[in-house]
Structure 1
């Protein structure tokens, strides 16, 4: 149902409801707040009703108390992933070195840098569209690279990373087609498909992580509840000390793999 340029909020709500939007009232309010004109409002509503993710329609996502740009074709940061950022902030030492792998929009790394005393922030993604978006969001906070996992990172980071965020894809290949169309159609498959059991990318990250982590540094990844036991073994097999953190409120499962401290003493704070 097209929205007339002079339509009130209630007409927008109705159009979104008919399109199947569960949170039609909230979305209508955001669309009205975003549109600079009646014609733009009509365009935004039509795009949302056609199935484009709300964040792609608005051009931003609300994450960890801030708005981050999210361009079309870029993975949308999920609210549950705020739990991962919060746990990372609790682990980050003073003047920490942070790396955000599979960074997407760069929201995780930028959010962590905003709430922690990060001395360095480095982020990377294999998707060119994500890299462009992340560079806008991270700006002067750090550096963003294009490439596969650790490959584009400066070699000087080896053995120095205090917090390694890796929001890797963890949806099993056979389950990708079961995802909502918003994700399945409009987000890059490389950001969703985690291989046969969903943990292929996590295995690659865990295998290389010890070479990049500082003594006592931690890798943080998300997984589903049903993957947690296998994911724990993945981290343990890589030589990391694993633990599982759960937020029932956000329905989030975060795994932390911590590297061993140096044989003598913990390294001095920078």
Structure 2
């Protein structure tokens, strides 16, 4: 019976029918309370329900009646599953990951970092955990720590484009724009058609005052994804800044022919006000 319900639960889980999966895993847990795998998969199913529902009706975990569950209620039950699994098997990497995912989803990023770190203590070469821990640090504004985490993932897999992009995003937030461009270029070396990498590159170019290059990056991103709203905004502001700079240079040339000192001061004041 345990094996049969496990198999049925796995089938429902694989197709995203999480309510049915929970019912099956509950039957497994009633028969075998220490079945860590069933507890974790039940918790993961609750986690997915929490992601996709907002006070919607779904069957409760015993499947004896239908009731309204909020996201927080589902996440709370998922945390209970993770904690139960860890009380049985403290070195369960999957249980630590599950708890970290829920905490991250709830905006409790410090707790998420702690859970992901615990998972890494068990499985230090897990690229996903390095990235997830970095994401939590990023959300806390701890960009240096985030970079360390992304570097951990890159050290295991130098061709991990996601880690390269997220590292670049952290560099950008630290105003280390040259290094952000390097990360974007590395990501593009891995996946030449990545619109986000061109967007990151373009934003960094914009911050460095290289407006023409920023426009080119935005255009390339839009060529890959025409619906990329942020890239379109980048193109607009970069084009405007480029036009203003060109106009300023033109006015400076005219002013310098008449009064060189006044022309230089005028241009400098204009640029300062623009920034």
Q: Is the structural similarity TM-score above 0.5?
A: no
Query: Which structure would you say has the larger RCO, counting Cα contacts within 8 Å and 6 or more residues apart?
Result: 1
Q: So what's the TM-score if we normalise by structure 2?
A: 0.28
